[in-house]
Structure 1
Amino acid sequence: MTERLDQFAGHVAVVGSGLAGLMTALTLAPQPVVLLTRAALGAETSSAWAQGGIAASLGGDDSVGLHLADTLAAGDGLCDAEAAAAILGDAPQAIAALETFGVSFDRGPDGSYMLGLEAAHSRRRIVHVAGDGSGAAIVSALVERVRRTPSITVIEGVEVRRLLKTDDALSGLLCATPSGAAIIPTTRIVLATGGLGGLYEATTTPTGNYGQGIMLAARAGAELADMEFVQFHPTALNSAGWCAGHPLGLISEAVRGEGAILINEKRERFLADQPGAELAPRDIVARAISAEIQKGGGVFLDAREALGQGFPDRFPGITRLCRQAGVDPARQPIPVRPAVHYHMGGVATDLQGRSTVDGLWVVGEAASTGLHGANRLASNSLLEAAAMGMRAARDILATSARNPRPCVAERLPLPSQLTPVRLIVSRGLGVLRNAGAIKGAVASLLPLALEEGPSSDPALVALSIAVFAALREESRGAHARTDYPLPLADARRRRMTLKSILDAAHRIAPQSLAHTA
């Protein structure tokens, strides 16, 4: 039997408790909000694992214009310049709001923000909290504020499995709770469910996050954008005890920002002649490291000369991580490898977080605003999460809740099984791609996506990545194809509905029709 939680009828439903979801809920106060989270509040979120901090042009030698120029360069021709300028321009307001909610950013003796440098930034503009523990400290402060905000009801241990529609309009959420299926009737929904790193065997993100918000929105009819652009962080900790399906520790880009260098097993600095060297855009560094590893050797991040004995003070969290793996970063090079870290694509939204489905807002990594283009500039993601959470909340406050419509209870989908999908995605949609591998991924994923089995939902998200990747016959940003190594002269973003994705999948891999007939 499906329980109806009618006490939340008329509430704004926020799904997800990372930075974007928490900021949305807090900015909506005193509007009644029900905040749903699969794990404990703020847990299992990429926001809480972020080390680098928030990019904000707050220095005396910096400006929104300079920050925008760096963002557009990293985005490799696919940023929406208007959206990027607006979101980057929100940085001072977002930082001020976070401080109001209890976040204490690191400051120098004179009271000014301590600003760090990261790859592809032309200025020091990364604000931190607790050094390399920024994400955890920010989320902790916001969680505390949410728990003290009477207008926000938090329900933990609940997974949203479907968005419900009545007469083609949003009417509620179908959820899995510890006691069974439940429906929350609502006409205003915010998805802040995070990324999709869990689709890959090697990721620095929570492995249960496979793009649930993308799946929910797509099944409800929303357009998706730029799904092919999956960013691989170049320097995940390549610990000897790691196995597929478990997150890899992250060695923040800020370590390279402080002067650490990349070397191969021969102790050669193989990026020395690359413009920007170790601080080149992430896609370039990730591909270079992958090429070295494919030669049969290891790659190491060497901070001994740049930081030496000062490493533990500058990066206490990373020091603990390395020592747990048997590495002393003050005395030894750190073994590293690329791993999925961020997704630039997602549910297409406008600058208020609105999707193409009325009543559905999407914020944070689950959304595609156009800020990141083909390749995210380091630490722009936390800024986007905070700024877009605030923008979506203000937009919702300017709307009136529609009269709730009767929700029709669907059968609760099975819990998701990721293992079969991870094998396909990791082999066919990795750092380097080609037509044969992509087509093979489409052929394998399409039957899984069309089944009503435990792998259907993650396979649907993975299939979207594969179809977008097949259609982009060029190399651009985080999408690198060995059969199309050059970018096209005309850079274009792409938006597709689920129906058009499935149609394209059948054209790309017609042999899969035999499996789905």
Structure 2
Amino acid sequence: MSMDVRDLAGRPVIIGGGIAGLMTALHMAPEPVLLLSRSPLGADASSAWAQGGLAASLGDNDEPALHLADTLAAGDGLCDAQAAEHIVYAAPAAIEDLARLGVRFDRTPEGALRLGLEAAHSRRRIVHADGDGSGREVMRALVSAVRSTPSIVVVEGVEARRLAVEDGRITGVLASCSTGPVFFATGRVVLATGGIGGLFHDTTNPLGSCGQGLALAARAGAVLADLEFIQFHPTALDGPGRPMPLISEAVRGEGAVIVDETGRRFLDGLRGAELAPRDIVARAVWRHLADGHRVFLDAREKPGATFAQHFPTIASACSKDGIDPARDLIPIRPAQHYHMGGVAVDLAGRTSVPGLWACGEVASTGLHGANRLASNSLTEAAVGARWVAENVAGSPDGGGKPAMAANLPTPDPRPVRPLLSHALGVTRDGEGLKEAARALLLLLQRHDTASDPAAVGLMIAVAALLRRESRGAHYRTDFPHQAAVARRSEITLDAAMFAARELANSPMLESVA
């Protein structure tokens, strides 16, 4: 990196090059900002892989109140109703923002937005771009807009390692690049770093997304919320490739059904069947696989011959495994897809640490509750980016201070994957969670490349252990019933480490969730 970082001191720093980070930077223009991306923009962001699109009440028979009701129902009692209301009511305007930035949304011959249907939505309200290439098209437009905005300095090939904190507030970002460590002095940092897919063997996300933003926030002392709620998509392509190609819920929205090797639609007994909430469908598929069956998505009749036309990305992924969805069954299994939990934030994206904001999947606004409603994630990122940008721009710098840069190891999630994949999958149990927590604490305390991924995994495991109920995407086989009162969970890294140490001395850990 050839630029002098002293010339950039005091600028807000946005960490992450997905939709949340790019839109935050664009909304802050013309205020100068610095955007850090570990890869070339658009190359390694989960946003670019999104197939389903964005949910917004834009149809003639739809309204935000209906979108809100569907969101709250999917969230299984754990949504922050006020946050959810603000976000879904702002969703249509966010779609307009994206269109103005050059996103080419799919439209009818008459020019109206083409609206799709996905699970647990009562109306067609999913806005797509380029069929099942929505994330890719949105990222194309945003990357172009960012590169043409003079106030945004993009630094690629740089990965944040730690947040500097002094007297309880942010003072800078310690990062690493090809030439060594570098320190960016700033009192305003926005985390937009994506999710945790790289902590699992089976995931539809980039393997490099291993909770770096959560680790940065946790080590800075931030409060994290609802970490135990991890969404497993029920229809990932069951093949040898990792990460696993996603078979979008939109395929089921167009009429595809789930069957086993005998051709039986074993979801018939579920309310909503294939279009039931994701957690319910994922558990049903998981159990059927555990019983020795194979599970497939049958799209031969619907969408049938038009499959490749409507879903070119999925058709291409299937073709690599020798599958033609118009003629063949598509083998599927659940895979980690989205993290409902994250850094606890208010509607302005402020965390518990002054000078630190979070936006997108790394943040926990309370919109998703225990189970994210399909296609609400990109909507949340687009809506939240404006609010974060406005709040950051209206906040004083806080006095970022120069500091010495130091080398820190590149996080390696591989030692953590077996632990989280086994203990924190579609179903969990107390003994498995305790065993994982103990092992993750040992990895964390080694202070090596596995330490940051282990810290994230430990917080998730302890949060899951403390929630002694089953709700939404969190299903405990030893506590299969739902508690009478729904309460969001909060945790810090120090609290998680304390709880894990207590496990070594006590067979019981009482719930505080």
TM bucket, shorter chain: over 0.9
Contact 2:77 2:486 in 1 (8 A): yes
* Counterpart among 399, 407, 412 of residue 412 in structure 1: 407
Gaps of 5+ in 2: 508-513
- Aligned equivalents of 1:333 and 1:284: distance in 2? 22
- Aligned equivalents of 2:161 and 2:366: distance in 1? 27
Match of 2:172, SS state, is strand
Residues 231-250 of structure 1 mapped to structure 2, 5 A cutoff: 231-239=231-239, 241-242=240-241, 246-250=242-246
Report the counterpart of residue 81 of structure 1 in structure 2.
81
Report the counterpart of residue 331 of structure 2 in structure 1.
335
* Counterpart among 227, 231, 255 of residue 251 in structure 2: 255
Residues 112-511 of structure 1 mapped to structure 2, 5 A cutoff: 112-239=112-239, 241-242=240-241, 246-407=242-403, 409=404, 411-510=406-505
- For 2:120, give the aligned amino acid: A
- Aligned equivalents of 2:86 and 2:168: distance in 1? 32
Per-residue CA deviations over 1:5-57 (Å, capped at 9, x if unaligned) read 21111111000010000000000001101100011112211110000000000
Deviation of residue 501 (structure 1)? 1.6
Report the counterpart of residue 45 of structure 1 in structure 2.
45
Report the counterpart of residue 510 of structure 2 in structure 1.
none
Deviation of residue 403 (structure 1)? 2.9
- Aligned equivalents of 1:271 and 1:258: distance in 2? 17
- For 1:252, give the aligned amino acid: S
Name the TM-score, length of structure 1 as normaliser. Answer: 0.96
Contact 1:78 1:374 in 2 (8 A): yes
- Aligned equivalents of 2:387 and 2:440: distance in 1? 36
- Aligned equivalents of 1:508 and 1:487: distance in 2? 24
- Alpha-carbon RMSD across the aligned residues, in angstroms, is 1.3
- For 2:34, give the aligned amino acid: V
- For 1:418, give the aligned amino acid: P
Gaps of 5+ in 1: 513-517
- Aligned equivalents of 1:511 and 1:298: distance in 2? 41
Deviation of residue 4 (structure 1)? 7.2
- Aligned equivalents of 2:347 and 2:445: distance in 1? 33
Name the TM-score, length of structure 2 as normaliser. Answer: 0.97
- Aligned equivalents of 2:189 and 2:212: distance in 1? 14
Report the counterpart of residue 104 of structure 2 in structure 1.
104
- For 1:117, give the aligned amino acid: L
Contact 2:168 2:353 in 1 (8 A): no
Deviation of residue 511 (structure 1)? 7.9
Deviation of residue 309 (structure 1)? 0.6
Contact 2:14 2:34 in 1 (8 A): yes
- Aligned equivalents of 2:218 and 2:406: distance in 1? 18
Report the counterpart of residue 511 of structure 2 in structure 1.
none
- Aligned equivalents of 2:193 and 2:416: distance in 1? 19
Contact 2:182 2:405 in 1 (8 A): no
Deviation of residue 398 (structure 1)? 1.5
Contact 1:228 1:469 in 2 (8 A): yes
Contact 2:410 2:449 in 1 (8 A): yes
- For 1:55, give the aligned amino acid: A
Which consecutive segments of 4 or more residues in structure 1 shift more than 4 A?
A: none
- For 1:125, give the aligned amino acid: R
- Aligned equivalents of 1:368 and 1:169: distance in 2? 20
Per-residue CA deviations over 1:284-318 (Å, capped at 9, x if unaligned) read 11111111111122100001111111111111111
- Aligned equivalents of 1:281 and 1:17: distance in 2? 30
Most deviating of 6-15 and 410-419:
410-419
Deviation of residue 450 (structure 1)? 2.1
- For 1:422, give the aligned amino acid: R
Deviation of residue 410 (structure 1)? 5.9
